[in-house]
A and B are shown apart, each in its own frame.
Chain A
Amino acid sequence: MENRLYVIPELCTGCNRCAYVCSAVKEGEFRPSKSRIHISNFSFRGYSVPSICFQCSKPDCLEACPEEAIYKDENGAVLVDRKKCNGCGECVTACPYGMIEQDDEKLAFKCDYCGGDPACVKECEPGALVYPKAEKKVLKLRGVQMKQRIESGSPEEKRHQLGLNLLAKAREDDIR
């Protein structure tokens, strides 16, 4: 089976160190808004959800790209050939998880697993990020997370909605 990044929201503390290190490695500065991983933080309920690229087996972004600039590498990571990218943004609209975005030059960028050694995983002290293999119950979580397809909105809105959906499942009770 392919190497994959998995998320256990129950363990996420909302510290954002993953997003900080991601932007430091990829952008050369601490800039979480340009990170390839994002945390939706629901402080009121004490819950946080990391949004990651699932590196889908049939990626919506890949299928939407008119320039065939998006492809899969041998490890299963979905990558962007930025030389081919025309900046149309179709991939951004297509991704139901809000995990491919456009940079300041409008070119698409996304998580590439850091070539097989993701910096975010090493930075995750509480163990909410798992790579490259996971036990069965974590595999199941991935299934639940991938079912939360958000078909409209900005990437930020999609991530937020995905987080809300998972929060509702995790904490069904109302607070008084």
Chain B
Amino acid sequence: MNLYAGKILIVNLTDKSISTEPLRKEWLKEYWGCWGLALRYYWDLVSPEVDPLLPENAIVIMTGPFCGTLVPLTSRFCLVSKSPQTGTVFETNTGGAFGPELKFAGYDGIIIKGRADSPTYLKIEDDQVSLENGEALSGKGIFETENYLKEAIGSSEAKTLAIGPAGENLIVYACVGTETYRQMGRGGAGALFGSKKLKGIVCRGTRGVRVADMPAFIERINHYKETNLLTEDNLWAKTDGTSFLMDDISNMGSHPTRNFTYGVNENIQAINLDAIKAAKLADRACVSCPMACGKFTSINGAEMEGPEYETLCLAGSNCEINDLEQVSRFNRLCDDLGLDTISCGNVVGLAMDLTEKGRRVFGLRFGEPKDYLKIVSEIATLSTQRGKDLAMGSKKLAEKYEAQDLTTEIKGLEFPAYEPRGNYGMGLSYATSERGACHMRAFTMYAEDPFDIEALAHLVVNGQNFSTIKWSMCFCDFWGTMKPEIMADLLTAGLGEEVKPEQLEDAGERIWNLTRLFNLKAGFGADDDNLPQKIMNQPLKKGPNAGKVFKKEDFEHAKAIYYKLRDWDERGVPSQKKLAELGLDSL
């Protein structure tokens, strides 16, 4: 098959069976790859009411058509399942090199079912696939686990996925790590692995990915690389990496600081782009990416790739830890123990706020690094009462201590590093995302008017539809000038049959609506597409957006426009007409 491996690996951990089946070709032109295709498989595998952490739930890992080719920024691959953090269906993806390796082994994706009796890892060497005893890895961090798995398969070129103690302990914001410093971070993928007693996956693939006409395919790739990718709009990734957003977003007044109290960090210079550059040792790339946005830093012996913007903000500014070394150490601990830094930064910020206000004493204070570093392992290993409390995530922590006025989460997923009171589009985007507060679905931070509700609602709908097809092609977000026309042209050259941009645009909307159908059946409705009290009632402080709130009536207005644009009724249910148009009426 051109561009696809043509096979799915199916692993049942309960009865230890391993099988393969041919890729469902009839789904490709509607769902394409990664998110879309994984979701379509997942839809057939489980009931939406399934408990995410029970053996009945399944995990679908999927690559995309360009994964393992020279099309730049396409090494990403995704995981789709039901989130233990939100109870919604969710997609989480990462770069690195595991996705291409899986494809080189001959599989477009893996379906994981059931639950093992004891810690297990999955070993894939081309056709040789086995489940192995992972007892020796119990309680080990991701770094050590990845090394162990490479040694176990006997290849330094093998690629790995692993969870740390946080995943084993079913912490709802546990991540799956790969290539040391890269993660499927959001939504609790690590807890899903943990619930199945799957400690990791190691893969070595030695086969190839074929295309219809190699010289023609490479010619198209080079054309778009030179004329579109390596241009001014995208080169920040190469020269700066994500930390350039520190000053950018703070100057806009939408940079979450001190548990989402301020919109600017007045001490940002200690943890901004300049600080990263001063500590930088090397540029690092995912496989197939010429940009290399990863900045490997070393500061007083704290060595790591990153920290990235989200971590610098949420574990830095939001906890008022204006010290790059300490943020790096926090980041590294999260990466090793297997926690999502976005959620973890939020939860710690919330605990600091509660402590400062005297409402509950966690021994955590803004700007104080000692307990800030200690708490990470307490959360991951559930070794103290405060660790257990914070491990519940913001939503449940707030329920326990009546702190709903201080939290920033939607459907249980903590906020990313963009303040909705300073940009209403981000608020609408967070509220309507399939997996709770997520910035990777529609990103309106650079909208002309951050408070123009009508225009922003359009941007959010279009942004979500486009992100959905982009994530279904496994394109990285940082090819910011990517368009359906480019994807369609590259698919045409690779597959050897014509693909039209409209097919991809339709697919984006189809996939988004399918996530909606799943979540409706899982019990979610319009009332859940909501903002936290804090965003609607408490004015933001400091900076250009001081005094701003996203008032409930404004938000409801935005949501009504959004539903109308989507052809969803006031309960958030897609119309029969829309479903028929998208070919979803029979599902």
Contacts and interface: CB of A to CB of B under 8 A. Distances in A.
Contact of B287 (A15, A45, A174): A15
A174 B301 CA distance: 8
Contacts of B206: 31, 33-34
Contacts of B205: 33
Classify the secondary structure of B's interface with A. loop
Contacts of A41: 97, 179
A43 B179 contact: yes
B208 A14 contact: no
A24 B211 CA distance: 10
B288 A15 contact: yes
Given A15-B287, A157-B156, A43 B305 contact: yes
Contacts of A24: 70, 214, 218
Interface stretch (B13-21, B41-49, B278-286, B579-587): B278-286
A176 B302 contact: yes
B282 A13 contact: yes
Interface in A143-158: 156-157
Contacts of A13: 282-285, 289, 292, 294
B180 interface: yes
A14 B214 CA distance: 23
B121 interface: no
Contacts of B218: 21, 24
Contacts of A45: 303
B303 A15 contact: no
A175 B301 contact: yes
Contact of B286 (A15, A29, A174): A15
Interface in B193-246: 205-211, 214, 218, 230, 238
Interface in A85-110: none
A123 B218 CA distance: 11
A47 B303 CA distance: 12
Prevailing SS type, chain A contact patch: mixed
Interface residues of B, number: 44
B550 interface: no
Interface centre among B70, B104, B230, B305 (most CB of A within 10 A): B70
B180 to A, nearest CB: 4
B68 interface: yes
Contacts of B292: 13, 15, 125-126
Contacts of A125: 230, 238, 290-292
Contacts of A10: 282
Given A15-B286, A46-B284, A47-B282, A29 B303 contact: no
B418 to A, nearest CB: 28
Q: Which of B180, B282, B294 has the most CB of A within 10 A?
A: B282
A16 B97 contact: yes
Contacts of B443: none
A38 B156 CA distance: 12
A40 B156 contact: yes
A115 interface: no
B143 A44 contact: yes
Interface of A: 10, 13-17, 20-21, 23-24, 27-34, 38, 40-41, 43-47, 123, 125-126, 156-157, 160, 171, 173-176
Nearest 4 CB-CB pairs, A to B?
A: A46-B296, A31-B208, A29-B208, A125-B290
